[in-house]
Amino acid sequence: MSQVELIDITKSYDKQKDVLNGINLSIEEGEFFVLVGPSGSGKSTLLRMIAGLEEISGGFLKINDQTVNHLPPKERNLSMVFQNYALYPHLTVEQNILFGLKARKVEKREQQIRLMEAAEMLGLTELLKRKPRELSGGQRQRVALGRSVVSHAPLCLMDEPLSNLDAKLRANMRVQIRRLQKQLGLTMIYVTHDQVEAMTMGDRIMVLNEGKIQQVGKPITLYNEPENLFVASFIGSPKMNLGNAAFFADGNHLIIENQLHISIDPDVIMGVPKDRNLKVGIRAEHLFPGESKKDHIHHLEAVNVEQLGNETLIAFEVGSELWTAKWPGQWTIEFGQKVPVQILPQYLLFFDVETGQLIQSADIGKLREVVTI
């Protein structure tokens, strides 16, 4: 049974254009579900509708098979963690964490048991008597998490909770939140605009754009088989390299951005129409170094090089597009240098120019093996 179910959910203000349109979605018990999309896509509005903080314009919202459209937030048995922490500045850490339990008149002994469990789990034991102004950003976020944990609500909603933290703290908090969710068996719905957060935290991801669902699936599925150009360009860092393409009359040769000429075995492109303009995509890690390779080599001009220590990102100009290659290790490449790059046809994805829909994904059988332990 789905814990949260959205059936044809819509949201509009003053009967103008829908902010959210036709949202159909099921979230399973114990699932870490991520809503991701650019600013203004409607993801925070959708979360607030689940929480009961926004009115639903149309459709039905069910929690544990009960329609809750008109139930107030306090009767939905959920907790919520906000972007701005929402801590009371005049209360101590302990008082902030226990505030909701006191409002619900939970027995004092039970309050203390839950408080100590949450404080130990989140490393807040030594901070219980401090005020929020005496805490770092990461500590404040843990206090907000603690308030959610002590509620014992089975459903937890999070609205961009890490966006105010620096990169190192964000990475650490990602691990803590994921571990907490698994330890407590929570169903978590997590909103972010950061696709790296979405990829690293979610059991499943829903990509939202302009109020419509673009794709729902496991992170690796969205990465390897994006259903359209929006998902292809949004999921993955660096983003997928894209370019306009067309086949020559023989149907066995492809030209990309009027620059790259690629010969293709017909078996690789059996489902791809040869008589129309296309968009092709290729991931940065599938533009291979061509130094020791013999076939499908293209000499591209490097226009930027980023040394990251464990890997190197090289940007190339391909027609009107900038393509990025991601190579393991450290590469000494100069600006303007012509660099041999291997582009294998089996790693290309094909999209319809008119609709943006995926026609054919890369040949998964040719991709590097995913190791299971």
Look at residue 121 and tell me if it is in a domain.
Answer: yes
The residue among 22, 18, 24 whose CA lies nearest residue 4 is 24
The reply to whether 212 and 326 lie within a common domain is no
Residue-wise pLDDT tens digits, 17-52: 788 999 999 999 999 999 999 988 999 999 999 999
The reply to whether 103 and 206 lie within a common domain is yes
The reply to whether 199 and 277 lie within a common domain is no
Q: Which residue, of 229, 263, 291, is where some domain finishes?
A: 229
Q: Is the pLDDT of residue 373 over 70?
A: no
Look at residue 362 and tell me if it is in a domain.
Answer: yes
Look at residue 34 and tell me if it is in a domain.
Answer: yes
Residue-wise pLDDT tens digits, 330-357: 999 999 999 999 999 999 999 999 999 9
Residue-wise pLDDT tens digits, 85-139: 788 999 999 999 999 898 888 899 999 999 998 898 888 999 999 999 999 888 8
Cis peptide before 238 (omega within 30 of 0): yes
Q: Say how many domains are in the chain.
A: 2
* Percentage of the chain exceeding pLDDT 70: 97
DSSP 135-164: S-HHHHHHHHHHHHHHTT-SEEEEESTTTT
- State mean pLDDT over 142-153: 89
**Which two structure tokens, joined as six digits, stand for 237?**
């860092």
Q: Which residue, of 180, 208, 229, is where some domain finishes?
A: 229
The reply to whether 129 and 204 lie within a common domain is yes
Query: Which amino acid is located at 146 in the chain?
Result: G
Q: Report d(CA 251, CA 269) in Å as an integer.
A: 9
How much is the pLDDT for 171? Answer: 86
Provide the 10 A C-beta neighbour count for residue 125: 13
How much is the pLDDT for 302? Answer: 95
**Which two structure tokens, joined as six digits, stand for 39?**
């600013």
Sign of dihedral through CA atoms 350, 354, 357, 359? negative
**199: confidence class by pLDDT, cuts 50, 70, 90:** very high
Look at residue 373 and tell me if it is in a domain.
Answer: no
Q: Is the pLDDT of residue 15 over 80?
A: no
The reply to whether 195 and 278 lie within a common domain is no
Look at residue 349 and tell me if it is in a domain.
Answer: yes
DSSP 317-332: EETTEEEEEEEES---
The reply to whether 274 and 246 lie within a common domain is yes
How much is the pLDDT for 367? Answer: 53
CATH code, domain with 278: 2.40.50.140
Q: List the domain range (segments joined by +) for residue 45.
A: 2-229
The reply to whether 245 and 199 lie within a common domain is no
Q: Which residue, of 166, 198, 229, is where some domain finishes?
A: 229
User: For all residues of the chain together, what is the average pLDDT?
Assistant: 90
- State mean pLDDT over 292-299: 88
The reply to whether 223 and 277 lie within a common domain is no
Look at residue 259 and tell me if it is in a domain.
Answer: yes
How much is the pLDDT for 141? Answer: 86
Look at residue 371 and tell me if it is in a domain.
Answer: no
Q: What is the dihedral of CA 316, 318, 320, 321, to 10 degrees?
A: -60
The reply to whether 244 and 98 lie within a common domain is no
The reply to whether 124 and 207 lie within a common domain is yes
Look at residue 372 and tell me if it is in a domain.
Answer: no
How much is the pLDDT for 371? Answer: 43
Q: Is the pLDDT of residue 370 over 60?
A: no
How much is the pLDDT for 365? Answer: 60
SS3 content of the chain, % helix, strand, coil (to 5): 30, 35, 35
Residue-wise pLDDT tens digits, 205-227: 999 999 999 999 999 999 999 99
How much is the pLDDT for 180? Answer: 86
CATH code, domain with 108: 3.40.50.300
**183: confidence class by pLDDT, cuts 50, 70, 90:** confident
**188: confidence class by pLDDT, cuts 50, 70, 90:** very high
Global pTM value: 0.89
The reply to whether 328 and 249 lie within a common domain is yes
Element (H, E) at 220: helix 219-224
The reply to whether 53 and 153 lie within a common domain is yes
